[in-house]
Amino acid sequence: MAGEKQADRSYRGGGHRLEKLRAFGPRGSAARERADADGLKRNAILDCGWGRLVFGQTFDDPRELANSLREEGPDRRDIAFYVKDPHVLLSHAPQELFLDPSHTYRLDLSTYRPSSRRPRGYFIRRLASEQDATEVNRIYQSRGMVQVHPAFFWSNRDNRALTYFVAEDETTGAILGTVTGVHGHRAFGDPENGSSLWCLAVDPQATHPGIGESLVRRLAEHFQARGCAFMDLSVMHDNDQAIALYDKLGFVRVAYFTIKRKNEINERLFTGPNADYEGLNPYARIIVDEARRRGIHTEVVDAAGGFFRLTHGGRTILCRESLSDLTSAVAMSICDDKAVTRRMVEAAGVVVPEQIAGDSDDETITSFLQKHGQIVVKPARGEQGRGISVGIECLDEAKTAIAAARQHSENVLLEACFQGNDLRLIVIDYRLVAAALRKPPVVTGDGRSSVHELIEHLSRRRSAATGGESKVPLDAETERCVRQAGFGMDDVPPEGERITVRKTANLHTGGTIHDVTCDIHPALVEAAVAAARAIEIPVTGIDLMIKSPALPDYVFIEANERPGLANHEPQPTAERFIDLLFPLSMPFSVRAARTQQRRSRKED
C-alpha cells in the first residue's frame, strides 16, 4: 500500500512537471494564430545598444530570420532568441550562423516570492544618468562584454520595453553591478506577456556578497509588479556559478535555443575548445588574444607555466605572460632582489623608504621600530605578496614575521611603513600605460557569519572574478590582521563591521584593483618611468606607496618584471605590449601618431 502511495505521488509529481514543461515549452501553430489575433508584431527586432535582440517566434520564414542576423553591424552582437527549430534556421546560412552553447532558463513570476533579506552595503536603483551609463560600460568591459554608447542608455531611458538597474555602494556611490530587462509585450506584443533578463554583470572588484542575486531579484520583482507571467534568460552551459544561482531562485530550463552570427566577438564559441589555449591563465591569455586579433601567429609552449611563442613575419619572440625576450636577464635579476632594486632606483633619484636587513640584532630592530612606529617585513626575493607582513609594531611580531618571510627567501628586509595607498603603475617602452590603486581585502560583518566564513565567502567571489587568481590565504598573517582589528577567526562581527583581513594589497592574496590612470599626478609618472629606466626594463609594474593619486608624495616599494596586464582593463595594456614586440603590427594611424610625438620631443 505504501508503495502504491509512493508511486501515486511520483506519478502526480511527474505529471505536474510535464504540465509545467508544456506550459513553458515552444508554442505551436495554434498558439501562433492566437498570437496574431492578440497583436503580435511580425519579424520583431529590438536594438539593445550592444546588438539587436531578434525574437525568433515572430518570424514565420526562417530565411527572413537568417537574413536579419546576417545584417549584423560591426562590433555588434546580435542574438536570435526563442528559436524553436535551430537546425532549420542554420541550414539557410551554415557558414555564417551558429548554435549558441547556452541554456534558456525561465522563472515563473506567478509563484516567485521576494526575499525577506535586503542588500547590505549597497542598494538597487534604476540607471539615472550618463555617468551611470559610463560606469555600466566600465563593468561591461571588465567582463569582456560588448559596450554600449552612453548616449544609447540615455536616449532609451523612457523606453518602456527596456529597463536598466544598477547596484550602488551606499558608502562610496560606486556602481557595483548592472542588469537589463526586456518587457516582451512592449517589445513585440508578446501574447504570453513574458519578460527576459540580459547583461547581468558585477564589477570584479566588488566585495559585497549577493550583488548578482539582488539584481536578478529586483528585475523579477519589477516585472512581477507589471503583471508579467515569467522572466527568461540565456546562460552559457558551463557557467556553473550562475546556473547554481538561477536554480536557487527557482528558474527551470526550457526548450528554446539561441542563434548568433559568427564574428570575432563570438569566435571562441564556434571554433571549438583549444586545450592549450584554455590552459593559459588570464595574464597570458590577454596577450595571446591581442596577438591573434592582429594576425600574429601564436604557439602555446607550456600552458601551465604561461609560456607562448609569437611570430610575425621574420620576428619570433618567446614570452612568459608579460615577460619576454626583450627583458634582459640582468634587468630580471635586478627586479628579483628587492635590495638591489632599491639601490638602483635610489641612485636614479627615486624616493625609497629606509631599510635594514632582517638579520640585524634585536637592539637595531627595536630602534628601527621606535623610529618608524610601524614597519614592513618582506623577503628579498619573491612575488605576489608571499611572505610580506605589514604594520609590524613590536619586536615579537617582527621576529615572527621574519621567520615567515624566511620561508620564501633566505634574505629578509625590514622597511619603514609608509601610511597610504598601494599604487601599481604599468610602464611599457618607458611610457605609462595604466595606473591602479590596489586595496587590501576587507570583509563586512552580517551579524550571522564568523570572520572565517566571511573570508571564505570573499575568497570564492574573488576567485570567480579573477579566473582563480585571487583569494585570501587562511594563514598566520591573516589571523594577525584579524586580531589587530579586535576579532578572532571564529568571532561573529556585528552587521556592517568592516575588517581588513590582510594588510598587503596584492591581487593574489585577495586584494582588489581600481583604475586611476586618468587621475595620476605627473610626479608619480616621472618616478615610475625613472625607475624603469634605471633598471633598463622595457615592461614593468612599478609599485609605489602614495597618499593620493592626485598628490606627488610617494615612496618606491618594488619593480615587477612580469606584471599582470589583465588586471588593468580597460586600459590598453596588452595592445601596448604587442606594439612593443611587433611595431609593424600597429595600425598605421597609431604608428603615424607615435612618429609625430617623437619628432615633437626632438624639436622641444
State the DSSP string of 454-499: HHHHHHHHHHHHTTT------SHHHHHHHHHTT--TT--PPTT-EE
Mean pLDDT computed over 33-60: 83
| 194, containing H or E segment | strand 194-202
Which residues are registered as beta bridge partners of 522? Answer: none
**pLDDT per residue over 309-350, tens digit each?**
999 988 999 999 999 999 999 999 999 888 899 999 999 999
Please list, in sequence order, all residues whose beta carbon lies within 8 angstroms of the beta carbon of residue 244, skipping any fewer than 6 positions away: none
Q: Taking the CA of residue 488 as centre, how many other CA atoms within 13 Å lie in the half-sphere pointing to its CB?
A: 2
CB atoms within 10 A of CB 573: 25
**pLDDT per residue over 472-509, tens digit each?**
888 888 988 898 888 999 999 888 888 888 877 778 88
Please list, in sequence order, all residues whose beta carbon lies within 8 angstroms of the beta carbon of residue 294, skipping any fewer than 6 positions away: 312, 578, 582, 585
Would you state the pLDDT for residue 156?
86
Would you state the pLDDT for residue 181?
96
Tell me what the pLDDT averaged over the chain comes to.
Answer: 86
DSSP letters for 249-264 = HT-EEES-EEEEE--T
Would you state the pLDDT for residue 395?
84
469 vs 153, residue with greater confidence: 153
CATH superfamily of this structure's domain 105-254: Gcn5-related N-acetyltransferase (GNAT) (3.40.630.30)
**pLDDT per residue over 122-175, tens digit each?**
999 999 988 999 999 999 988 888 889 888 988 887 888 999 999 999 988 999
| 512, containing H or E segment | strand 512-515
Q: Which of 55-59, 261-265, 330-334 has the lowest mean pLDDT?
A: 261-265
| 288, containing H or E segment | helix 282-293
**pLDDT per residue over 572-593, tens digit each?**
999 999 999 999 887 766 666 6
Helix, coil or strand: residue 152: helix
CB atoms within 10 A of CB 56: 24
472, three cell numbers: 585570501
- Quick one: which of 449, 458, 568 has its CA closest to 502? 458
Q: How far apart, in whole angstroms, are the C-alpha atoms of residue 31 and residue 455?
A: 52
Would you state the pLDDT for residue 604?
58
Q: How far apart, in whole angstroms, are the C-alpha atoms of residue 482 and residue 474?
A: 11
Please report, for the chain, the start and end positions of each structural domain, with discontinuous segments joined by +: 105-254, 441-502
Mean pLDDT computed over 78-88: 94
Mean pLDDT computed over 384-402: 81
Give me the helices (H) in 25-173, please: 29-37, 62-70, 86-91, 130-142, 150-155
- Quick one: which of 517, 515, 525 has its CA closest to 203? 515
Would you state the pLDDT for residue 390?
80
Mean pLDDT computed over 253-279: 84
Q: Which residue type occupies 25?
A: G
**pLDDT per residue over 14-46, tens digit each?**
444 444 444 444 544 444 444 454 578 999 999
pTM: 0.73
Distances (CA, A) of 311 to 288, 290, 298, 522: 11, 13, 7, 36
DSSP state letter for 41: P
Would you state the pLDDT for residue 273?
65
